[in-house]
Chains A and B, each alone.
Chain A
Amino acid sequence: MLAPLLLALPVWPVASCAREDKPVSVTVVVVLATAANAQVDPKLKELAKEVQKRDPKLTGFRIVAVESKSIPVGDSATIALADKQSLLVKINKQKDENGRITLELAPPQMEAISYACACDKFFPIVTPYKTKDGEHLIIAVMAKPCTGKK
């Protein structure tokens, strides 16, 4: 008799938390890197240094676009990159006890990846996609709880 009630009890707090989840603000910086010049956008100094550790030939870094989107937890959104490429972003979990938000990304020509990252910090991904001019497509993704301003 009590079995159905006992089974239902753990469900209640989970559902309650889900309702309290606020959307997550995701910012994606679309970058193109090249070996043809050495111009680095000042905002990309740190990114360029880290990428050059992996590939020293990439010397020029420019921002193509910056996009910010508010995505509810459990939902996904598509963000346009460069060259008609797109990035699928899914928010899997709201900020956990360590202050990390869990995301799932599907960058161009790559399998979907899932990771948790601290708020306000960018996680860079150098994709295998190259434009017809030979520029490398790089994306940097940052997530943080929506403040209500957006």
Chain B
Amino acid sequence: MTPAPDNDDALAAYLAGDPAAVRAAAPPEPTEAEWNSVRARAAARLPRRGRRWPTVAALVAAVALVAVGAALWPAQPGAPESANRPAPVPAPPHDPLAEFDVLPVVRAEEVVLYRVPGAGALPVGAPPLAGELVLATVDDVEFMAPHDLWPQTLTGAGDAPMLFAKSR
């Protein structure tokens, strides 16, 4: 604070650069309460950083919504794009005989039958039993272990061995 104009001596000393006069003319330091009041007013005028987040979040959400919508749009049934596409042409039914002009038929010697019903004639193939049953002779068979039924296998000389169990 400069000395009052009516204080000539002090003003002259101040203008002359007298340190004591300059110190005496210095304004008093503000109190802590005054500093706090100034800080509060300054802070009130500054823009708050936290207020930006809602705006940024809204922007991000909008972009995400647009991206998801764009991705799902073609998959929607009845979407205008798919409606404009031509209908797919159904594939012709598979013909398993397409490769044959004439159906090839196997020859008898190319088929082996593992089970045939009865003794009836079959159109193709070699039957498991080609001719008459040839029974084993006594010299052809050997019984492994004693068995209650073995005595019934032979009834006389020249007979074919046969296991004959009595009906119950």
Contact = CB atoms under 8 A, between A and B. Distances in A.
Interface of A: 27, 29, 41-47, 50-51, 53-55, 62-69, 98, 100, 102, 107, 109-111, 113-118, 120-130, 136, 140, 149-150
Given A109-B168, A116-B144, A121-B137, A64 B118 contact: yes
B162 A125 contact: yes
Interface string B135-158: 111011111110111000001100
A48 to B, nearest CB: 10
Nearest to B128: A68
The 10 nearest A-B residue pairs measured at CB: A121-B136, A118-B140, A114-B144, A68-B128, A63-B119, A67-B115, A125-B163, A66-B129, A128-B165, A116-B142
B127 interface: yes
A67 B167 CA distance: 25
A130 B167 contact: yes
B contact residues, range: 35 or more
A149 B128 contact: no
A126 B128 contact: no
B2 to A, nearest CB: 121
Interface of B: 112-119, 127-129, 131-137, 139-145, 147-149, 155-156, 159-168
Contacts of B136: 117-118, 121-123
B133 A122 contact: yes
A50 B112 contact: no
A54 B68 CA distance: 90
Given A46-B135, A122-B135, A127 B165 contact: yes
A113 B144 CA distance: 8
Contacts of A121: 134-137, 140
Contacts of A63: 118-119, 129
B160 A50 contact: yes
Contact of A67 (B128, B145, B148): B128
Given A54-B162, A118-B140, A126-B165, A113 B135 contact: no
